[in-house]
Amino acid sequence: MTESSRPAKKPWLPPRWFIRLFWSAHRGVFRRSGGRVGLSRPRGNRYGMLRLTTVGRRTGQQRSVILGYFEDDGNLVSLAMNGWGKPEPAWWLNLQAHPEATVDLVDGPRPVRGRAATGDERARLWARWREIDKNLDGYAARRSSETAVVVLMPRPGPSEASRGT
């Protein structure tokens, strides 16, 4: 078998239990620090961390998760991944049912509306994620369905909406 005909080696992922433990610890640090630790801005070829709060599609209660993101022309862009597990992440299902959400960033909260990128926009944003994470395509190949590229667009907050802006 030649080098070029060898199947690409799948990138390593930690066990699922470890991924879930890390998520729990990250949320705990954020909560215990009053939001002072756990979020970051994207820098260069590194993604930032934001906290997304959605409305649960079944419970109607607020649900929060910490996600990686980068900025694109005023929008925040994330990937609907579940630690690269097969099921769609609950936050993405919630966002599809109730697109209006809130993100917490280093510089404060921001109301957003979520949607999936499609077509050329999706291809462009996926390529940007690939610059950040060289293993992106290998991780995505582990999933049985396409990974949604999620665009979180700014929307007027309650005070702005009442002023008509």
Domain boundaries, the chain: 42-156
Q: For the residues 62-78, what does the mean pLDDT come to?
A: 95
Model confidence band, residue 6 (pLDDT cutoffs 50, 70, 90): very low
Count of C-beta atoms within a 10 Å radius of residue 79? 22
Of the chain, the percentage scoring pLDDT greater than 70 comes to: 76
pLDDT digits (tens, 9 = 90+) for 120-136: 999 999 999 999 988 77
pLDDT at 5 over 60: no
Q: Which of 4, 10, 35 is closest to 138 using CA atoms? A: 10
CA distance 61 to 55: 6
pLDDT, tens digit (0-9, with 9 covering 90-100), for 48-59 = 999 999 999 999
d(CA 69, CA 17): 23
Q: pLDDT by residue (tens digit) across 15-45?
A: 666 666 666 776 777 777 777 767 889 998 8
In the chain, the N- to C-terminal Cα span, in Å, equals 63
Mean pLDDT across the stretch 93-111? Answer: 97
Buried b (16+ CB within 10 A) or exposed e, 102-131: bbbbeeeebbbebbebeeeeeeebbeebee
The fold of the 42-156 domain, in CATH, is Pnp Oxidase; Chain A (2.30.110)
